[in-house]
Structure 1
Amino acid sequence: MNKKLVVGLVAATLAAFIVAWAVAPIVAAQSLIRAAKAGDTAKLEQRVDFPSLRESLKAELNAEVLARVRGDPRLTESDLGGIGMMLAPMLLSGAVDTVVTPEIVAAMVRDGEAPDPTGAPDPAPKTGDDGGDIHQSWGYRDLNTFSVTLTRRDAPNKRLALLLDRRGLFSWKLAAVDLQSGTEP
């Protein structure tokens, strides 16, 4: 074989590998979003690392509840506020373990919102929302974490970042969320 032909084949193979490696999280994210919109729980179970997602959601919701409690002077000045801050992580942990299912993940992706940790009703309930009012931005956070940030057009200051982690060379799974994502990736 010709030396130029071998070098060309090696370069083409390497380029194809790099493109496939870089595009893999986009394909995985699109597959996750399609499965969520279709309500396909079997596909969601394949595309989500539920133990990791639950731990991430617990940490994010605990931080949000603590910020809300600290921001309310009535709770910070009372003894009940301190007790609430101690009990909140335990209560949230049990609730997240029970509630985070493929159906809840599908709702999070479709609605662009994480569950409300306080259980307060949504002031503007969504009716017939098909996810058309959700802006998506995509990008790498690092070589092994890919972010799909969902922003509702009616609440541009609230973002939900779905964080996919690399599992091998070409496989990605939803493993975490970032509720405080203040900037787009």
Structure 2
Amino acid sequence: MTIRKRIQGSATRPLLITLIVVIVIAALGFIYASPYLAVNNLKRAADARDVQTVNQYVDFPALRDSLKQQVGAMLTRRLEADAGNKMATIGAVIGVTLIGPLVDAYATPDGVAALLNGMPPRGTPGEQPSAPPAAGGEAPAAPAAGDTTTQASAPPPGRQSTAGYRSLNEFVVTYRRGEGNANYSAIFRREGLVTWKLAAINLNE
């Protein structure tokens, strides 16, 4: 009886080891894929204006701080570039006073949807996030040029984006803006083992 049990134990041990290895590989695969799943889930929720789900995937205080810094830097560069044009300079100064409202507009599900559809803020006074693409339609590509209305224009089709780990705890989705080789990026940061949240935007990637 003891010999039979030993034989059975020897036979089942390789199966148990194989099962453990499969479980470990599956767990590692899920951990690796978790930011890709987070980006996909957030984009779908933002496009559908599912506020509860969006809140699960966005660190809004961190995103607001990032937007404030990025938009402020954008307007500063515009001021320096337009230093010889008084009207342009006046417009840029007015834009500086509107950083708060612009940040408020983009630190929302509407703003998140625009950011994840290739439509970042341009720093235009009164700018509002563009609407997401219609269900079943093509996602818009890059921000429109020269629109100064309160609603940003829909970008042309053919948006290009890449996604990948920048570090163990940072995952970046980079979008081509369609203005030369200029890009911008949405930055996700890890919270826990498989939880990722949109925490920052880089408008000058």
Give TM class, smaller chain: 0.7 to 0.9
CA RMSD across the alignment: 3.0
- Residues 102 and 126, structure 2, Cα contact 8 Å, conserved in 1: no
Q: Which residue of 2 aligns with 1:58?
A: 68
Shift in alpha-carbon separation, 1:31–1:156, aligned structure 2, 3 A: farther
Provide the TM-score with structure 2 as the length reference.
0.69
Cα deviation digits, residues 44-90 of structure 1 (max 9, x gap): 222211111011111111121122222233379xxx88xx5xx94x7
Residue 151 of structure 1 corresponds to 176
- Judge conservation of contact 1:65–1:118 (CA < 8 Å) in 2: no
Following superposition, the deviation at residue 147 of structure 1 comes to: 1.0
> Which one has more relative contact order, counting CA pairs under 8 Å at least 6 apart?
1
- For 1:53-92, what aligned pairs fall within 5 Å after superposition? 53-74=63-84, 84=93, 88=96, 91-92=98-99
Partner in structure 1 of residue 162 of structure 2: 137
What is the CA–CA distance in structure 1 between the aligned matches of 2:153 and 2:83, rounded to whole Å? 31
Cα separation, 2, equivalents of 1:42 and 1:132 = 29
Q: Equivalent residue for 1:123? A: 146
Matches within 5 A, 1:1-185: 1=9, 2-74=12-84, 84=93, 88=96, 91-92=98-99, 94-99=100-105, 100-110=107-117, 112-119=118-125, 122-123=145-146, 126=153, 132-152=157-177, 154-155=178-179, 157-181=181-205
Deviation at 1:165, TM superposition (A): 0.8
In structure 2, what is the Cα distance between the partners aligned to 1:47 and 1:55? Answer: 16
Normalization by structure 1: what TM-score?
0.75
CA–CA distance in structure 1, aligned partners of residues 119 and 109 of structure 2: 15
In structure 2, the CA distance between the partners of 1:19 and 1:96, relative to structure 1 (3 Å rule), is: same
Cα 1:155–1:91, aligned 2, differ >3 Å: closer, same or farther?
Answer: closer
- Which sections of structure 2, spanning at least 5 residues, go unmatched? 1-8, 128-144
| Higher radius of gyration, 1 or 2 | 2
Identify unmatched segments of 5+ residues in structure 1. Answer: none
Preserved CA contact (<8 Å) 1:65 1:117: yes
How many aligned positions are there? 169
Give % identity. 32
For 1:73, what is the secondary structure of its paired residue?
A: coil
Kindly state the Cα deviation for residue 18 of structure 1 after the two structures are TM-superposed. Answer: 1.1
| Offset of residue 97 of structure 1 | 5.0
- Structure 2 distance, partners of 1:149, 1:39, is 22
**Greater alpha carbon shift after TM alignment, 44-53 vs 114-123:** 114-123
